[in-house]
Chain A
Amino acid sequence: MSWRDTVLRVMRVPPTPAPPPGSPPRVFRAAPNFFALRVIGWSIKQAVAVAGLLFAVFAFHRADVFNSWTERIFLAAEVLGALALTAEILFGWMIVRLDFELRWYMLSDRALRIREGILTVTEKTIVLANIQNIAVRQGPLQRVLGIADVEVKTAGGGGKSDMDRKGRVAEPMHVAYFRGVDNAEEIRDLLREGVRAQRDSGLGDLDDDEVGSGAGAAVVELLAAARELRAVVETGKR
């Protein structure tokens, strides 16, 4: 059994998400270059951490001002630090790899569903009728790698400066991203088409599909009345 299955089972990562409401969805994936970009960012962080540890070790061995006991404690701390860093690098690699593999961007004719995350799994579903605007974002590195993020916003506030209860910067709730896709234009056009096909984009209107069919029924009734009238007129003639 590969490490992947074990990790996924221990971390209880749910399997493929259920499709969103509407027609069978089209599933988009993050492009391989998205993984490349993530690996670059992750490697830089790990390199900084390794450099920090090496610097600490080097600086400590240069300073011969300690007695044997503190020296032992520092040595133990160094070994622990090195072990922790190794574990962190291994674990971090798994997370980066799995985070890329376990991403689903589903788009049906009524809704989109985005599943991402490994430690914290988030599944966002947005009904197309509620979409307010669509944007494509691309940074310089993403441009080199030929990928982009498609941003989908719904009504409501909440900028990046808003804090959640724990004081961390929370991702705003009224926005969803198709991160690192290499066919951003296609997704954008599909989304726009889907939004255009929705009957309303207002906020909080109740589904009032009775109005239309009511008019149709009234006309049918009118037709029946006209037929009856004609029948009466024709029989009255005879």
Chain B
Amino acid sequence: MDVRDIHRPAPALMKYYVFLSFLFGPLFFIALIPYYFRYHTMRYDFDDEGISMRWGILFRREITLTYARIQDIHLTSNLIERWLGLARIQIQTASASASAEMTIEGLHEFAEVRDYLYSKMRGVRAGIAQPASAQEPDLASALREVAGELRAIREALEKR
């Protein structure tokens, strides 16, 4: 499964929203309206640089994050979400807000998306400082060899 093909949340999210609106008791149908539009207008886009997420019909909102700026990714699920096979992926950057900058909800593939985001994040791929020799031709010995070659050239020129 390719994470980039994900654009819409799963229909189970609407069920979860219906459940959430029941928490409002007899006024549940009023609470359901914003949830309904939120679900139907929610779009995700995973591209080379980052993720964007947008929703809303009267008040539109669009959040764009760059993979490189992601700090922590948390996975949270309550009982109802687990029954529906969902979890929230809460993504934080280093901004000053206590809540998550972006919450990706309504995906059954939350584990894959989380791992995908981690593979794109800074500090995961090349996080460990390695000795120079491990990752590139040894700089010091190559320079020494260059010096040796130059010395040999000088000697060759002097012998002429």
Contacts and interface: CB of A to CB of B under 8 A. Distances in A.
Interface of A: 11-14, 18, 21-22, 109-111, 119-130, 154-159, 162, 164-165, 170, 172-174, 176, 197-200, 203-207, 209, 212-213, 215-217, 219-220, 222-223, 226-227, 229-230, 233-234, 237
Contacts of B93: 156
B: contact size bracket: 35 or more
B157 interface: yes
A122 B127 contact: no
Contacts, number: 184
Contacts of B66: 204
Interface in B75-125: 75-79, 82-83, 87, 90, 92-100, 111, 114-115, 118-119, 121-125
B126 interface: yes
Contact of B122 (A126, A164, A206): A206
22 contacts: A109-B128, A110-B127, A110-B128, A123-B74, A127-B124, A130-B72, A154-B71, A154-B72, A157-B97, A165-B99, A170-B99, A173-B74, A174-B98, A198-B128, A200-B123, A213-B135, A219-B143, A222-B146, A223-B142, A223-B149, A226-B149, A234-B156
Contacts of B128: 109-110, 197-199
B99 A209 contact: no
B72 A125 contact: yes
